[in-house]
Amino acid sequence: MARKVRILRASDMAGTLAMPDVLALVERAFAERGRGRTEMPAKSYLHFPDQQGVLLIMPGSLPQMSEAAVKLISVHTGNPAGHGLPTLIATIVLVSPDTGEPLCIMDGAYVTGMRTGAASGVATKLLARRDSHVLGLIGAGFQGPFQLEAVRHSMPVKTVLVNDLVPEKARKLADIAMGFGLHARACETAEEVVRGCDVLVTATPSDRPIVRNEWVHPGMHLNCVGSYAAGKQEIDPAILKRAIVVVDDWEQASHAGEINVPVSRGLFGRADVYAELPEIAAGLKPGRTDNEAVTVFDTTGLAIQDVVTAWKVFEVAERNGLGLVIDPLFTLPT
Ligand SMILES: NC(=O)c1ccc[n+]([C@@H]2O[C@H](COP(=O)([O-])OP(=O)(O)OC[C@H]3O[C@@H](n4cnc5c(N)ncnc54)[C@H](O)[C@@H]3O)[C@@H](O)[C@H]2O)c1
């Protein structure tokens, strides 16, 4: 019998998931990928140059978990000023691996935030020094609170330092951190954040390096989140040359991640990458082994992170009757 389709708006989903659950799910998804048990064709891009927009299509499936989904995510930089709309608009369709039926259509912002935070959290757990206590955040936009939430569950954070081009945003994120009982401070400069922290998250749309090599001290771990397209970069390529670099996926990272600019200039190559995070999550390679090493995680976001997170939201929504339920979209054969 055909199953109904659940529709979940952003307002139906806020707060449905606990970050520790998402961290465990995303780590499992990485491990499944490391063991070669996921299917995740490369992201496809549709370009809308006249509208300063791009649409990314991200399919993924995890057969061991019987989960599959496709995320559509558009990045239209002219949206806020031109249309009063967000820059990023994401939609996720969950598909039954058994029958191919669409089971759920949901807004993708919450899932994207939770799973992007969780990727940094998993990388922090596997790559940061155990005695890391100070978290630095550069970029206090939509992703900021999710990054804070994920990393504070992945290392013993005592202090949070935040910088944003818009000081008010940095103050708001610092206030959220203080709400968790942490020491937190909005910093006027990125340099102050970088020099003072043990683990750094960069989550800006910058296309020029913000973080300078000389600010980065031995033993630091960096999660580079912001780069999503060719030409984007947040840290000085000299940091990549001296660090142990881990990517989420070589193909994605070399085209769109933090490493894409140095790769395109021939300054950085596959041989300079220590591992893909899925290999470490699967236990095929060790994480941090040297307390003095600088480690960098270049995350571009994998479709399988969306799949496991969105299916968890769906499970909660089914249990609690969230959102709307409509009849199947297709017609049954007679
Ligand atoms: N890796 C992933 O999986 C993934 C997932 C989602 C989003 N992203 C990327 O992460 C970035 C942040 O996303 P968001 O949704 O939070 O965007 P956002 O627009 O909500 O926030 C970005 C913030 O960065 C600040 N900023 C910009 N340039 C800065 C600079 N030089 N120094 C300090 N702050 C600066 C802005 O003021 C803003 O507050 C985007 O580039 C987005 O595409 C990556």
Same domain? For 272 and 252 the reply is yes
Q: Where are the beta strands (DSSP E) in 220-302?
A: 221-224, 244-247, 273-276, 295-298
Nearest to 223 by CA among 155, 314, 309, 306: 155
Residues whose beta carbon lies within 6 Å of some atom of ligand 1 = 88, 112, 116, 138-143, 163-166, 169, 190, 203-206, 210, 225-226, 228, 299-301
Structural domain total, the chain: 2
Same domain? For 192 and 245 the reply is yes
Same domain? For 172 and 295 the reply is yes
Structure-block tokens of residue 181: 């009982």
pTM metric for this prediction: 0.97
- The predicted structure's pLDDT at residue 23: 98
Same domain? For 186 and 162 the reply is yes
Same domain? For 219 and 240 the reply is yes
CA pair distance 231, 262, nearest whole angstrom: 10
**Atom 10 in ligand 1: which residue has the minimum CA distance?**
226
Same domain? For 106 and 132 the reply is no
Residue 153 belongs to what domain range?
Answer: 128-302
Nearest to 299 by CA among 120, 89, 61, 38: 120
* CATH number of the domain that residue 313 is part of: 3.30.1780.10
Low-confidence residues of the chain: pLDDT under 50: none
Same domain? For 295 and 154 the reply is yes
Structure-block tokens of residue 275: 């591992």
Contact 296, 246 (CB under 8 A): yes
> How many angstroms does the Cα of residue 139 sit away from the middle of ligand 1?
6
Nearest to 17 by CA among 281, 324, 314, 300: 314
- The predicted structure's pLDDT at residue 105: 98
Residue in 43, 71, 232, 312 annotated catalytic:
71
